Amino acid sequence: MEFTTPTEKLAEIRLEIVTLVEQINVAASGEPFYARIILENCQSSRRLTGLISNLRVNEYKLIFDFTEDRLIEEKLMQDASEKEVKFEKLRGIEVFQTRSGKPMFLSES
């Protein structure tokens, strides 16, 4: 079996995700931002929606600090953790605005 084609395809996917992460970080100007990360979860999609900071790529994983607001017994609680998402589970990223309220726009290229 020839592995050149799958290896090339994986390199293209990694380059696309690295480029997207760079665009997001530039749009956020180093500030934490609100976003939704869409993941594949067996038979359906799962979404992580919250405040993201320190977004980066390591090998074939997207890594970021994630803070999610939860309403527990009528009290707003924040749950912070570091997340790792393998490229094969990633289905999309939708950015909204920075923590200070600045809208985020990404180029279409």
Per-residue pLDDT tens digits of the chain, which is 109 residues long = 566 688 888 889 999 999 999 999 999 999 999 999 999 875 666 889 999 999 999 989 999 999 988 878 888 888 889 999 999 899 999 999 999 999 998 876 5
The residues, ordered by sequence, that sit 6+ positions from 34 with a Cβ below 8 Å of its Cβ are 49, 50, 51, 52, 95, 96, 97, 98, 99
Q: Residue 43 in 3-state DSSP? A: coil
Domains observed in the chain: 4-98 (2.30.30)
pLDDT at 98: 95
pLDDT at res. 94: 93
C-alpha–C-alpha distance, residues 14 and 49, integer Å: 23
